[in-house]
C-alpha cells in the first residue's frame, strides 16, 4: 500500500516527485526516496516521514528532468534507509520502485545469490532491479516484460534506466497506477491525489497492463505486448475527494479496498494445494505438535477478530483456544504454560493494553506471536514470531480493512498449525485454500449490493436501541457489527448470542425495535431462527444477513442483506461487510464525522 510517483518533462523532476509523495503520504510513511536521471541516476532516500527526505536533499537538489519516487509502507524488511525505495541493481544502471508483494521472492533471491548477486537491502523489491538488469538486452520494455514473467504476485512496478533516459516503464498487477497527461510532460502515480493539482486528464492503468511513459505522453499495452487504446478520463473531483479516491469518506474507501487487502494478505503465503508459508513465523512442526493451548489477546475490533480466530482454532485444530481482552488478561493472573502459544493482535502494534498483555507470555515460558499491520512496531519487536497483515495504512478510526486482514491472517495460521498437527488433511487444505482465494470476488459481489445496506440504514436511522444476535461465528460477527454501529453512529447497540436473548434482553424488544441477525452457520440455523421468531412475536423489526440461497429467512425478516453462498467457516469474512456498510450509512444519514468519531483515537497508546 505504498505511494509511487514518476515524472518525465521539461521541469526539474526532484521537487515534483517530493511534492507528489507528500500528497501520497497517507499511503505509506515508513521511509521515502527519489531517483532522478541526468545522464547518471542519483538516488536519495531516508527512513521515516517525507520530511526526513526533504531535509536530506535540502541544499543538494538532484538535477534532472526524469525521475521516480516512492513512499513506503513496509512489508519485507524493517523501515530503514537501506530498505527504502528506489532500489538499484549493482551497476546502478537500473532503478525500481515497487508497491506490493513478490510472492516468489525467496526462490528469486536464492537463484540470484547462486549467481553471485549481492544485495543491499532485505526487500523483495530490490530483486526486481536485479532481474531487469539480468534480462536487459537493449530494450527496457522487453526486459521489464520478462521480469514480470519471472515475478509472481500482486504489485505495481516502475522502472527507469540510464541506458534509455527518455522513458519510464511501469506495470500494474492489482496495485493501482495512474498516468497524468500534461502539456509536454507526463506524470505517473499510484493514486490520483498526487498529481490532481497538475493535471485533470488521466489514463487509468488496469490489471496486467504495462505503460511506457515519455514527455510526449504514454503508451498502454497488455503485459503480453498488445497495444491498448485507453480513453482519457477527466477528473472533476476536488482535492479532498481525490485523496479519498472519489469516496465521501476514508471509511467507505477502505471498505471497498477489502478485496485487494485479502489478495495482498494471501499473496505468496497460500498455494492452491493449501500449503502455507508464513514469513516471520519461525516455529517448527515439533513445536506445533507439542502445543497444548492457544491464547488470543487483543482489544476492540482486534478482539472481535480474535473471537473468530478462537472458533477457527477450535474447529480446525481441535485444540483448546481462549480469547481474552488484553486489559483483563494482564490483571487476571492467567494460568499459561510453556507449551502454549499466545497470539497478540493489534493493527498499529502500539496498543498499550495489548503490549502489556503480550509481555505475560515470556514470563510463563510461552511463545508469543504478533498479528499486526505495522512493520517495526513495538508489538512486532516483542514477538517471537510476526504475521504481518498487509492491510496498508488505515486512515478511518473505525477499522474495516485492517480487521479483514486480521481474519485472513488467522485462517492462514490455522492451516499452518493444522497441517503440522494432522488435523487438516490434503482435501480440507485444498478446500479452504480454494475458498480463501474466492473471497475477493465474493466481497466484490457484496459491495455491489450496497443498496441493501442503505435500505437497512434508512430503517434504523432513528432508532434509540439496536440489538445484534448470532450463534458461534455469527455471534462474533454480530459483536463487530455492533461495535461499528456504535463507534460512528452513536446509536446504543448491543450484541449477544441468539440463545441469550430470552435470558433477559427479550424484555426490551417491543414494537419496531431493530434486531440484526447474522445467519451463516448452518449447524445452528434452526436455533437462531427460534430466536428470530421470539423477536417477531413481540413486534421487533428483523434485519438479516443471510446467504443468497436462504429462502427461509424471507418469512421472518423485514430486510435481508445477502452474501454469496460459501463454506460456513469462511462466512465471517463476507458477512461483516454488510454490517460495515450498514454502520457507515447510518452514520452518514445522521450527519456524523465518520472518519474521526468523537472521543476515539486510531491507536490507543494509553491504558
In a domain, 515, yes or no: yes
Cis amide prior to 199 (ω within 30 degrees): no
Please check whether residues 103 and 169 belong to one and the same domain.
yes
Please check whether residues 149 and 212 belong to one and the same domain.
yes
Cell triple for 567: 463454506
Please check whether residues 470 and 355 belong to one and the same domain.
no
Domain of residue 311, residue span: 252-446
Domain count of the fold of the chain: 3
Mean pLDDT of 380-387: 92
CATH code for the domain of 129: 3.60.20.10
In a domain, 343, yes or no: yes
pTM assigned to the model? 0.78
In a domain, 607, yes or no: no
CATH code for the domain of 313: 3.40.50.10490
Please check whether residues 146 and 288 belong to one and the same domain.
no
Q: Taking the CB of residue 602, how many other CB atoms lie within 10 A of it?
A: 17
Q: What integer pLDDT is reported at residue 352 of this predicted model?
A: 86
Please check whether residues 227 and 86 belong to one and the same domain.
yes
Cell triple for 553: 429467512
In a domain, 600, yes or no: no
Tens digit of each residue's pLDDT (9 = 90 or more) over 76-109: 778 889 999 999 999 999 999 998 888 898 999 9
Please check whether residues 78 and 22 belong to one and the same domain.
yes
Helix (H) or strand (E) holding 101: strand 94-102
Annotated catalytic residue, options 162, 486, 527, 602 = 602
- Among the ranges given (57-61, 308-312, 440-444, 521-525), the one the predictor scored with the smallest mean pLDDT: 57-61
Q: What integer pLDDT is reported at residue 236 of this predicted model?
A: 75
Please check whether residues 317 and 417 belong to one and the same domain.
yes
Please check whether residues 261 and 158 belong to one and the same domain.
no
Helix (H) or strand (E) holding 4: strand 3-8
- Mean pLDDT (the chain, rounded): 92
Of 394, 429, 446, the last residue of a domain is 446
Please check whether residues 13 and 41 belong to one and the same domain.
yes
Q: What integer pLDDT is reported at residue 242 of this predicted model?
A: 65
Cα dist from 218 to 36, 141, 157, 173, whole Å? 19, 13, 16, 18
Of 218, 243, 268, the last residue of a domain is 243
In a domain, 293, yes or no: yes
Please check whether residues 458 and 555 belong to one and the same domain.
yes
Residues 6+ apart with CB under 8 A from 34: 5, 13, 14, 17, 18, 21, 43, 44, 45, 53, 57, 62, 67, 68, 69, 70, 86
In a domain, 598, yes or no: no
pLDDT at 605 over 60: no
**332 vs 515, more confident:** 515
Tens digit of each residue's pLDDT (9 = 90 or more) over 246-267: 899 999 999 999 999 999 999 8
Tens digit of each residue's pLDDT (9 = 90 or more) over 21-70: 988 876 767 899 999 999 899 999 999 888 999 999 988 889 999 999 99
Annotated catalytic residue, options 2, 22, 45, 167 = 2
In a domain, 605, yes or no: no
User: Which of these, 201, 209, 142, lies nearest to 176 by C-alpha position?
Assistant: 209
Q: Is 339 in the active site?
A: no
69 alpha-carbon distance from chain centroid: 22
In a domain, 597, yes or no: no
Mean pLDDT of 527-534: 95
Please check whether residues 47 and 193 belong to one and the same domain.
yes
Of 225, 243, 261, the last residue of a domain is 243
pLDDT at 327 over 90: yes
Q: Taking the CB of residue 38, how many other CB atoms lie within 10 A of it?
A: 16
Please check whether residues 310 and 414 belong to one and the same domain.
yes
Amino acid at each position: 500500500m505504498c505511494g509511487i510517483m514518476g515524472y518525465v518533462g521539461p521541469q526539474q523532476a526532484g521537487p515534483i516527485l517530493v511534492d507528489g509523495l507528500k500528497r501520497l503520504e497517507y499511503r505509506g510513511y515508513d521511509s521515502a526516496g527519489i531517483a532522478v536521471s541526468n545522464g547518471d541516476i542519483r538516488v536519495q532516500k531516508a527512513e521515516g516521514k517525507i520530511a526526513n527526505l526533504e531535509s536530506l536533499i535540502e541544499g543538494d537538489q538532484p538535477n534532472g528532468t526524469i525521475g521516480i519516487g516512492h513512499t513506503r509502507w513496509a512489508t519485507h524488511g524493517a523501515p530503514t534507509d537501506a530498505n527504502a525505495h528506489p532500489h538499484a541493481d549493482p551497476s546502478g544502471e537500473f532503478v525500481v520502485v515497487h508497491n506490493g508483494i513478490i510472492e516468489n521472492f525467496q526462490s528469486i533471491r536464492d537463484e540470484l545469490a547462486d549467481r553471485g548477486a549481492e544485495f543491499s537491502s532485505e526487500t523483495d523489491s530490490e530483486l526486481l532491479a536485479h532481474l531487469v538488469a539480468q534480462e536487459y538486452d537493449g530494450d527496457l520494455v522487453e526486459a521489464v516484460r520478462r521480469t514480470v514473467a519471472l515475478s509472481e504476485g500482486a504489485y505495481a512496478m516502475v522502472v527507469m534506466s540510464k541506458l534509455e533516459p527518455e522513458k519510464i516503464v511501469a506495470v500494474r498487477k492489482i496495485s493501482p497506477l495512474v498516468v497524468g497527461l500534461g502539456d509536454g510532460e507526463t506524470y505517473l502515480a499510484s493514486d490520483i491525489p498526487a498529481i490532481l493539482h497538475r493535471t485533470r486528464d488521466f489514463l487509468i492503468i488496469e490489471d496486467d497492463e504495462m505503460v511506457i511513459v515519455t514527455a510526449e505522453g504514454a503508451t498502454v499495452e497488455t503485459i503480453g505486448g498488445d497495444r491498448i487504446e485507453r480513453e482519457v478520463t477527466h477528473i472533476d473531483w476536488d482535492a479532498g475527494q481525490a485523496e479519498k479516491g472519489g469516496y465521501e469518506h476514508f471509511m467507505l474507501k477502505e471498505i471497498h479496498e477489502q478485496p485487494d487487502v485479502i489478495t495482498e494478505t494471501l499473496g505468496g503465503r497460500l498455494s492452491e494445494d493449501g500449503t502455507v508459508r508464513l514469513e516471520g513465523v519461525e516455529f517448527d512442526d515439533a513445536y506445533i505438535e507439542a502445543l497444548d493451548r492457544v491464547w488470543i489477546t487483543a482489544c476492540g475490533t482486534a478482539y472481535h477478530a480474535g473471537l473468530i480466530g478462537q472458533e477457527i482454532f477450535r474447529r480446525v485444530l481441535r485444540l483448546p483456544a481462549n480469547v481474552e481482552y488484553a486489559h483483563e488478561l494482564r490483571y487476571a493472573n492467567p494460568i499459561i504454560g510453556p507449551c502454549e502459544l499466545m497470539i497478540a493482535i493489534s493493527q498499529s502494534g502500539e496498543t498499550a493494553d495489548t503490549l502489556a498483555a503480550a509481555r505475560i507470555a515470556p514470563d510463563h515460558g510461552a511463545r508469543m506471536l504478533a498479528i499486526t499491520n505495522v512493520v517495526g512496531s513495538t508489538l512486532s519487536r516483542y514477538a517471537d514470531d510476526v504475521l504481518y497483515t498487509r492491510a496498508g495504512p488505515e486512515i478511518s478510526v473505525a477499522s474495516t480493512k485492517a480487521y479483514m486482514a486480521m481474519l485472513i491472517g488467522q485462517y492462514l495460521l490455522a492451516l499452518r498449525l493444522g497441517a503440522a498437527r494432522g488435523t487438516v488433511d490434503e482435501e480440507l487444505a485444498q478446500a479452504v485454500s480454494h475458498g480463501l482465494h474466492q473471497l475477493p470476488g465474493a466481497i466484490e459481489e457484496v459491495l455491489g449490493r450496497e443498496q441493501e445496506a442503505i435500505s437497512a440504514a434508512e430503517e434504523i436511522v432513528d432508532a434509540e436501541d439496536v440489538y445484534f444476535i448470532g450463534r458461534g461465528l455469527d455471534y462474533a460477527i454480530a459483536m463487530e457489527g455492533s461495535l461499528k454501529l456504535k463507534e460512528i453512529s452513536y446509536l446504543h447497540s448491543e450484541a449477544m448470542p441468539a440463545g441469550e436473548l430470552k435470558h433477559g434482553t427479550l424484555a426490551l424488544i417491543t414494537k419496531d425495535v431493530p434486531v440484526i441477525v447474522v445467519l451463516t452457520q448452518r449447524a445452528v440455523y434452526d436455533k437462531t431462527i427460534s430466536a428470530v421468531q421470539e423477536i417477531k412475536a413481540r413486534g421487533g423489526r428483523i434485519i438479516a444477513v443471510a446467504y443468497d440461497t436462504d429462502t427461509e429467512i424471507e418469512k421472518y425478516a423485514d430486510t435481508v442483506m445477502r452474501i454469496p453462498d460459501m463454506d460456513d467457516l469462511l462466512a465471517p469474512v463476507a458477512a461483516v461487510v454488510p454490517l460495515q456498510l450498514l454502520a457507515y450509512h447510518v452514520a452518514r444519514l445522521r450527519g456524523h464525522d465518520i472518519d474521526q468519531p468523537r472521543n476515539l483515537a486510531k491507536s490507543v497508546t494509553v491504558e
